[in-house]
Structure 1
Amino acid sequence: MTATGERNALDPEPIQSRLRALLDHHPDGPLPDAALRQIRTSIAPDHRSRPPSTGTLKERAQRHEAESAAARAELIESIHAVDPTPEGLLEFGRHVRRNVEPSGFASNMGAAEFAMAPGAIRAAAEHLLDTGTSLAEICIGLNLLSLAPRDGDSERIRIFIPLGRRIEGTAIKALGRIGRAGPHLAWAAERTPVYRRLGAVQAIWDLPEREFSELLYALPVKQSADLVQMFSALDSRPEGLQGDRRFARILRDAARPGALEAEPEALALAAQLWDEVRYGRCALLGFAPGEREMTTAGFQALLASPEASASVDAALAATPEDPDLVWLRMRLNRAAHSDPPLPRGLAVRVSVPRPSIATQARTHLLLDGVPLVEAHFQRGHSGRPETVLHDGRGLEALAEPRDVKIGDTGCVEECCGAFRAVISRRGGLVEWEVRDTVLKDPPTTRLTFDADQYDAEVVRAAADFDWEWPARRAARLLRERIGAESELMSRWECELAWTGSWSPDRSEMQYSFYYPKRPSGNDAYVQFSAARDVPYVPEVDDGAVMAVVDRIIADLRTTDPKSTARLSGGSREYAEALGFPWPP
């Protein structure tokens, strides 16, 4: 039997207990994303029972506003009515779990709304956080705890940030209420999977200036350098990043011999910063003359050291399929060789991020060593090689002006715009006119290049595929083979749509195709997708890659690909019209 006020042994394990167990099992670095995703999935609210929305957009908005106000009032009333005994708190937790939606008001309640003693507020908050198994319990518990804080509450709150989504935002707001949030946000950023750090990193950047500076100088060199790298990776370039001397000094110090240990996480940071200082936003920091080159050389020397190789090889021996370790081994291999010096005028370089960042490769366009997109486009990053170098005529300069996308925001251009260059040739010069397309009257920057130097660099960059991982190379070669033999698809009344390898899963090559043809007008169509395993290894074996492509091509000669691929696009109506069952 269960004593009064205690959680039943058959109830789900509290979220806080699950997070603490994860932290104990993984004392350093980001928590495993798969484990966090499992927790998020288990607490996601179920919206399937809701009736469909009706009425105009304005009517739906008004109805939603009224429902939210009523729910807020009911929640506040239930908090006022909490009986702070163990049995009363247990009943309150059940009420929140069963009846309260984790809406935005859960993180916006203020102390003025509660005519309650701080002790009663804390009792309700602590119970929700200690026993909560739902999104609503945690969000409301975090909010209430910040209204009656005590020493140590920031540590209790910050452990929820790595979960992301609404809990992350609520926890960050709660830390802000308590104050002195910087060290706790930095801890949370370091413990959050790399591609989910945006909320914590942005909150650090938004700290009051004095607290921000104190945090930077209080952190160990690795953590402060890691923060600079995180700021550089934000979707939009933070105001003030360009020309910042503090960040330049932090990276200079991190690149000095002995500043970073030759262990995988520190080496991964060094590898990221090596690219960032050479080609990315960190190239724009306030380096004194010669400091940028010295910082770059320092990171490269660490990556090329025997200690780094021994450390990474030992880690790979223990977990040979860890994609971040494979990537790091590739970066160490590259660091062991000197890159060709940047030419005057235009230089094109491709950087490949670690898989856990979940972003694609980027094409950096450097003008006399300064990254062009990063310097002029605050809202996004450099574009992908497929877009910049291989879409149509790539960066080729013709007498007829061509409009080429060279940077994007991570969203579709029709929604969020992009960074574009109008490229043209006039005699012995190539001219660029670059602009941000989302701006109503975008200011334009005009650039000129020596045509011979420009042509040579563009041809070299378009032919350089050393940056590819095996599955990415397989995708390119498959695309080229099918493009050269169109009958491979047309014999089955199909048309190739896409080939590629997503950065987070570099051991898989994917391709998709349309039937009966590419979408046009109101004609019925469906899309199919297929995938092939291509091991992610530090050195690309062209023979093994070509063998994968050859097998796909051989199959296409004899077997209808619709019979083996999965239906992945179109609509139920189109699928049924074309004779295919829509997937459940």
Structure 2
Amino acid sequence: MSAQEERDALTPPLALYDYVQRLLGESPEGEPPRRGFPLPERPEPGEALGPREAASDIIREALIPLPDDSATLHRRFTRLGIWDHHRHLIRSAVANLQLPAGQRDAVRSLARQLIRTGTTVPAVTVGLALLIRLGEAEDVPYIADLGLLRDLTPAAVEALDALDRRSAAVLWLVVRARGDELRPLVQALRAGDPHTIRAGLEALSASPRYLNTAAARRIAEAARLPDLLGRYPSDTALLARAGRILARMVCPRDNPTELLDYPDAITLYEDVISRAGLLPPTLKHHAMLLSLALDLSSGPGMLLNWPPGRREALLDSLGRLLAAPQWASLTETDAGTVDQRLWAGWIRRTGRQPFVRPATAGRLRIQVVAGDPVDREPVETRILLDERPLVPAVFARGPAHSPDYLLDEGRLRAGPEPREVGLAVAYCTEGCCGALYVTIRRDGDHVVWENWRRPPTMPGSLEPVPELPAYRFDATAYDAEIARAEADYSWSWPARTVARLIKAGLMKQPELLSRWDAKRGWISSGFDDPDSTVVTFSYAPGLASGKPEGIPLQFRWVVPDDGTPPETQAAAALRRLAVEDPKTYGQVCGGNRERAEELGFPWP
């Protein structure tokens, strides 16, 4: 071994906190990079701990009893082979530790040693996890800096959420915010100057491309948005941006329940709606306020801890404002940009929906809600049980299924045999974060929803979900509500109606596609162009006989709106399918290049 190698071996490793301080000192202007800092490159000696259950047992063995000093814990982890990649199991184990009340000060002292002098990820993770439960204000700067190491960010954010929501939000945004467009605002939030934050917010693009629900919530927390509105009460640009951020928090295409994790949600609703009359009447502002109203009437906003009658009063206030002539007249023309035309049509169809109370109260209410078309929000079948939105209350991972799935195909009807129905799926995929299922059955004069299936833990938590009860409905009232919802297409627009009619025609006449060895796929309005209809189908030789030769290709046929009634357009599309092979006018959109070339189709 060389002299340099001997010195390196004798030099104690740098504490992770000191490592972060060094990196910050070396960074331009002391700013961390997007996505935070990587961990120092260190080998992970030792063997794997085996299956998850065995690893968890070994980690618990290392933690019990908690030592008085950090060096002892370091030695235990090294001896047992507990390394960086076990940090998630460590957090779970610490969360479940029993901490006797008389030892809390000693445990807090150990946690502080670990985060300030710990040299390994497992040891520092124990310190952060203990401070999730025991942290105090003096720990905030240490936790915030350690969280700049991207592998420690989740534990640091969780600890800060209990101590200082603004610091937690700033850290989350520094490491997790997507896109360079957010960097100026994130830098302003990190600096903390209200004037710079105000300017950064007003310059921010609040489109879904840059601002998902989590980022919207964290920006509101980091900016202390209600306080900022109070500081600049006459700034209508800031007011409009605050409303837009609030509306983004309940976007069903992401996680629609970020709003419920935002402590100032009710205050921000109060601030925005009480001052909404200051906003210039524009289609953009009308669309933002309508999005807020739709949430308050049937979305996650209903689940906030509202004082009695206050939510309804805010809805009434919005309803009166948007019905005023200067706001209602905005939709009288379709002239303008594409966005303005989309907003005008949406407001005409949807503008009064959140302000109409049901004629009679009942256990079940179905509300089909089409979100802001400029943001490409989905159409969802909101299910309200006892006037509480079911999906965000018990699933909280994604929106309810579309009416195409639940209503057009009669899945919510109660038939003679019990059947399991999917009500919602996670915004990522079912394979990733699960789905919500219920079994629907008829029981004499009642309809019963029971045997719920959903992920076993709460979103972002290891806490088990509680069991859901069975719900019983009067069968006559239930059937009437499902029939009413199935027949109500007031939310629909021409391209969506064309898609529904084409789908219904193909369900009645599947041979229109099967004669071409094709099978119906997804049919709806276009995502990029909501005014067009998109018909998808799969094709493979022999598909109609049930014995396809090889992997099918997927095709996409776009039917533009020609201005004729939807019934005329749908009939024309079905006639074309009857006489002309759709593979000659559809475009390949899925499968693989080799299969497309084999079957003689160009790959996109």
* Mapped pair 1:465 → 2:489: yes
1:217-237 deviation line (CA, Å, top 9, x unaligned): 445554444333232336141
**CA distance in 2 between partners of 1:260 and 1:399 (Å):** 54
1:180-216 deviation line (CA, Å, top 9, x unaligned): 47935971685332453126414324538xx455235
Q: Is the 8 A contact 1:355 1:506 kept in 2?
A: yes
Tell me the equivalent position of 1:526: 553
**Which of 265, 281, 288 is the matching residue for 2:300?**
281
Amino acid at match of 1:581: F
Tell me the equivalent position of 1:290: 309
Q: Show the 5 A alignment for 1:73-84.
A: none
TM-score (norm 2): 0.62
**CA distance in 2 between partners of 1:186 and 1:432 (Å):** 48
Q: Show the 5 A alignment for 1:472-491.
A: 472-491=496-515
* Residues 474 and 429 (structure 1), Cα distance of their counterparts in 2 relative to 1, 3 Å cut: same
Tell me the equivalent position of 1:581: 601
Q: Which moved more, 1:507-516 or 1:195-204?
A: 195-204
**CA distance in 1 between partners of 2:182 and 2:510 (Å):** 50
1:103-130 deviation line (CA, Å, top 9, x unaligned): x9566369xxxxxxxxxxxxxxxxxxxx
**CA distance in 2 between partners of 1:230 and 1:528 (Å):** 33
Count of residue pairs brought into register by the alignment = 430
Tell me the equivalent position of 1:546: 567
Tell me the equivalent position of 2:216: 201
* Mapped pair 1:383 → 2:397: no
Amino acid at match of 1:425: R
**CA distance in 2 between partners of 1:421 and 1:218 (Å):** 48
For structure 1, list consecutive stretches of 5 or more residues without a partner in the other structure: 1-75, 83-103, 111-159, 536-540
Tell me the equivalent position of 1:368: 386
* Residues 247 and 467 (structure 1), Cα distance of their counterparts in 2 relative to 1, 3 Å cut: same
* Residues 482 and 213 (structure 1), Cα distance of their counterparts in 2 relative to 1, 3 Å cut: closer
Q: Is the 8 A contact 2:300 2:389 kept in 1?
A: yes
**CA distance in 1 between partners of 2:576 and 2:447 (Å):** 45
Q: Which moved more, 1:199-208 or 1:492-501?
A: 199-208
TM-aligned CA deviation for residue 461 of structure 1: 0.8
TM-aligned CA deviation for residue 382 of structure 1: 2.4
* Mapped pair 1:347 → 2:346: no
* Mapped pair 1:179 → 2:192: yes
TM-aligned CA deviation for residue 449 of structure 1: 1.9
Tell me the equivalent position of 2:227: 214
Tell me the equivalent position of 1:269: 288
* Residues 295 and 331 (structure 1), Cα distance of their counterparts in 2 relative to 1, 3 Å cut: farther
* Residues 308 and 331 (structure 1), Cα distance of their counterparts in 2 relative to 1, 3 Å cut: farther
TM-aligned CA deviation for residue 475 of structure 1: 0.7
**Which of 412, 418, 429 is the matching residue for 2:429?**
412
Q: Which moved more, 1:358-367 or 1:405-414?
A: 405-414
Structure 1 counterpart SS, 2:335: helix
* Mapped pair 1:108 → 2:36: yes
1:495-552 deviation line (CA, Å, top 9, x unaligned): 22221113442111011222232898883322221101126xxxxx8x6212222222
Amino acid at match of 2:255: D
Tell me the equivalent position of 1:50: none
Tell me the equivalent position of 1:304: 323
TM-aligned CA deviation for residue 390 of structure 1: 3.2
Structure 1 counterpart SS, 2:362: coil
Tell me the equivalent position of 1:235: 255
Q: Is the 8 A contact 2:438 2:451 kept in 1?
A: yes
Q: Show the 5 A alignment for 1:115-264.
A: 165-168=178-181, 170-171=183-184, 174-180=187-193, 183-184=197-198, 187=201, 190-198=204-212, 200-207=215-222, 211=224, 213-215=226-228, 217-218=230-231, 220=233, 221-233=239-251, 235-238=255-258, 239-241=260-262, 245-250=266-271, 253-254=274-275, 258-264=277-283
The Cα RMSD (Å) is: 4.1
**% identical aligned pairs:** 26
**CA distance in 2 between partners of 1:419 and 1:460 (Å):** 24
Q: Is the 8 A contact 2:416 2:441 kept in 1?
A: yes
Tell me the equivalent position of 1:154: none
Amino acid at match of 1:351: V
Tell me the equivalent position of 2:524: 500
* Residues 285 and 415 (structure 1), Cα distance of their counterparts in 2 relative to 1, 3 Å cut: same
TM-aligned CA deviation for residue 387 of structure 1: 2.6
For structure 2, list consecutive stretches of 5 or more residues without a partner in the other structure: 1-22, 39-172, 234-238, 458-463
* Residues 189 and 501 (structure 1), Cα distance of their counterparts in 2 relative to 1, 3 Å cut: farther
TM-aligned CA deviation for residue 253 of structure 1: 1.8
**CA distance in 2 between partners of 1:242 and 1:463 (Å):** 39
Structure 1 counterpart SS, 2:332: helix
* Mapped pair 1:326 → 2:344: yes
TM-score (norm 1): 0.64
* Mapped pair 1:511 → 2:535: yes
Q: Show the 5 A alignment for 1:27-66.
A: none
* Residues 336 and 173 (structure 1), Cα distance of their counterparts in 2 relative to 1, 3 Å cut: closer
**CA distance in 1 between partners of 2:431 and 2:398 (Å):** 15
Tell me the equivalent position of 1:432: 449
TM-aligned CA deviation for residue 343 of structure 1: 2.8
Amino acid at match of 1:187: L
* Residues 522 and 428 (structure 1), Cα distance of their counterparts in 2 relative to 1, 3 Å cut: same
**Which of 411, 429, 438 is the matching residue for 1:421?**
438
Tell me the equivalent position of 2:418: 401
Q: Is the 8 A contact 1:281 1:374 kept in 2?
A: yes
**CA distance in 2 between partners of 1:190 and 1:169 (Å):** 7
1:449-482 deviation line (CA, Å, top 9, x unaligned): 2222111101211222221111111011011112
Tell me the equivalent position of 2:466: 443
Amino acid at match of 1:203: R
Structure 1 counterpart SS, 2:290: helix
* Residues 426 and 304 (structure 1), Cα distance of their counterparts in 2 relative to 1, 3 Å cut: same
Q: Is the 8 A contact 1:267 1:303 kept in 2?
A: yes
**CA distance in 2 between partners of 1:171 and 1:484 (Å):** 55
* Residues 253 and 184 (structure 1), Cα distance of their counterparts in 2 relative to 1, 3 Å cut: closer
Amino acid at match of 1:230: R
Q: Is the 8 A contact 1:185 1:204 kept in 2?
A: no
* Residues 225 and 106 (structure 1), Cα distance of their counterparts in 2 relative to 1, 3 Å cut: closer
